Amino acid sequence: MSRIPLVLAALPLLLVARLLPDEGLGLAFRLAAASACLLVPGALLGRALRLPGAAAALTLSLGVLFAGLVASFALETSIIVALAVMAAVAVVALVFAARTAAVALHWAIGAVAAAGAVFGVLIWRFGPVLNGDALFHLARARKLAVFDQLSIDAVAEFADGGPHPGYAFPLWHGALALVARLAGVDTADVVLHEAAILVPLAFVLAFEAGRALFGSVWGGVAALVGQVAITGLAPGNGGTYDALALPATAARQLLVPAILASMFLLVRERRAAQALPVAAGSLALALVHPTYALFLLLPLGGFALVRLVWARKDALTLAGGLVAVGLPTAAVFLWLAPIVEDTAGHTPSEGEIDRALERYSSELDVSSADRYSLAPEVFGRSGAVAVAALAAIPLGALASRSRWAAFAVGGSLPVLALTLSQLLFPAFADLVSLSQARRVAGFLPFTFAFAGGCAVLAGLLRGAALPVALAAGLWLHYRWPGDFGGLDHGGPALATWIALVGGLLAVPAGLAIAWKLGGIERRGLFAGLAAALFVLPVAFDGAREWRSPDTPRTPLTPGLVDALRDLPQRGIVFSDLETSYRIAALAPVYVAAGPPAHVADTEDNRPYARRRDVIRFLRTGDLGIPRRYGARWLVVDRKRSLLRPALRVLHADDRYLLYAL
């Protein structure tokens, strides 16, 4: 085996990529090489600690990036300091990694990455536009990439504002900013196209999690197939994979599988070193999307309990893994507490609860303002694979000695019990907000239950499982192809109740079946093929639903963007709410206001007071209003306002006017 880590090839590849144009194929190579370079510290640390795999590389790299960003903020300098910290750690890790023999790359990893690359090409071709939440995150990533003096407050949208409690420490934004700096491209190109680059990594992480849980390559394939069907194929047009560059999606599709893969390896291999990527990944998850780290503890806690009941094994490693997840999560929540306390509505009023219940009424079963639960149809809304996974949860009793069965059953029961209870769910929604509480349904281990169901089916029917899986996939996809966007009909409520009641009965049944029959499962080729055949109808329909965006990918005119980027960094620009939101994303400046839906309602941010001032300015033209915010420039959208103040015009086009105040 070579003593030179293969991951070091990312560095010369980046140098070569920088010679290519910053558009088209050249841009893709630049982004891919820069992204690979960010994984170098974690990959070297993983090799030094004998922790191979993409999960360890990602989580440990983000842990190092966290330390680097802390240094940048503490020294109030640029993100180059964070890059220097990552480089220093990589150099030190290389000394130890070079002494450790490389682990041969399994053929399946290459095949999975290649499949992800094909999917990534489609994401690139039919990728998203800059709108909605993407603009919010682009604004923060741009400031991190460009500003010479960084702090947590400096990356906010307002010069006199404060952090958003959900993204107070901009870890993922820092990763995007470093990709932009390393690749030598604009941050907007990263936010637009990085999702396509990350798809192969998402595929590999899903596969690694499945292989670690099932102890089988084909079990990993089955889990991957289920994940891709739910996430990318059933919704059509790439599903949520086209948003992998954004923190919420990256947290769910990258960090959660990475933590699970590391957790399952910790339980299987019983090596203390495996707790490091679990802890690093949990810290990253808690910083990137805090509530998701809390949600992840539910299925992991249930997994530990059912595993102890069924097998009376893995107690120490499961406890250690839960501590590795829980401690970083608790630390981040303690740090966030003062910021959350400063946020209006962190303890929702009766009126706010009523508005939330009305907004999400299609997803809820409501008895009163303090008695409501998720509608059972929500769980099967992702289509045939989700419905099959729900029905497969009780089948864990037929393989109760297996870790996957404990995770499928134990991971599902807490989520189902919490969300379907009209006593527990309102209290949980008060804790994390109803908007966030709805999302805990996505932490039910669908893909692992689906893969486990395929393993049990193969154990019962062997080769006959293949036509049965195809027929079941055709029928379920025809009946429940998926309900995306607003919930119209969802999945079958019966499947959810089968999962809950059957899961509860599976716990005692699993004990009896294990004592009398042992396990009934086959995790080999037939299980993987059964999963693939089941998903085939979903894939066929999903492949037909790719659409190019029908709006411009950037929301401001090129001339205005160029003019804004010529302004001094950290300058304050005044405009209407929507235009301000776009300006903050596309230029390294601050704005005076933004849409309240995209601004944390804190004492410093005052989004509604700022909105009133903008409305008053657009009505009166009083220039004292923008000047009170320290604004030195004014942008008028010709379609939104008839104001034409007697000021010096710096830029004019068919849509926008830029004035010097």
Residue 345 pLDDT: 57
pLDDT over 50 at 222, yes or no: yes
Q: What is the mean pLDDT of residues 128-146?
A: 93
Residue 3 pLDDT: 63
The overall average pLDDT reported for the chain is 93
For 239-274, what is each residue's pLDDT tens digit?
Answer: 999 999 999 999 999 999 999 999 999 999 999 999
Neighbours of 213 (CB within 10 A): 31
d(CA 234, CA 239): 7
pTM: 0.95
Give the Cα-Cα-Cα angle 593, 597, 600 (nearest 5 degrees).
70
> Band of the pLDDT at 548, cuts 50, 70, 90?
confident
d(CA 274, CA 324): 10
For 42-54, b/e burial (b = at least 16 CB within 10 A) is bbbbbbbbebbbb
Whether residue 169 contacts residue 152, with contact meaning beta carbons closer than 8 Å, is answered with: yes
Alpha-carbon Rg for the chain in angstroms: 25
d(CA 530, CA 580): 51
pLDDT over 70 at 285, yes or no: yes
Structure tokens at 458: 């193969």
Provide the sign of the torsion angle of the four alpha carbons 528, 534, 535, 541, taken in this order: positive
Residue 543 pLDDT: 83
Provide the sign of the torsion angle of the four alpha carbons 248, 250, 254, 258, taken in this order: negative
Residue 484 pLDDT: 80
Residue 576 pLDDT: 96
Structure tokens at 272: 């203390």
3-state secondary structure of 591: strand
d(CA 213, CA 265): 8
d(CA 57, CA 59): 6
For 557-606, what is each residue's pLDDT tens digit?
Answer: 999 999 999 999 999 999 999 999 999 999 999 999 999 989 988 888 99
Where does 342-483 have alpha helices with state H?
A: 350-359, 384-392, 403-420, 424-432, 434-437, 446-461, 465-479
pLDDT over 50 at 1, yes or no: no
For 72-109, what is each residue's pLDDT tens digit?
Answer: 999 999 999 999 999 999 999 999 998 887 777 888 99
pLDDT over 70 at 2, yes or no: no
**Ramachandran region, residue 445 (left: φ > 0; alpha: ψ -120 to 50; beta: rest):** beta
> Band of the pLDDT at 4, cuts 50, 70, 90?
low
Give percent helix, percent strand, percent coil of the chain, each to the nearest 5: 70, 5, 25
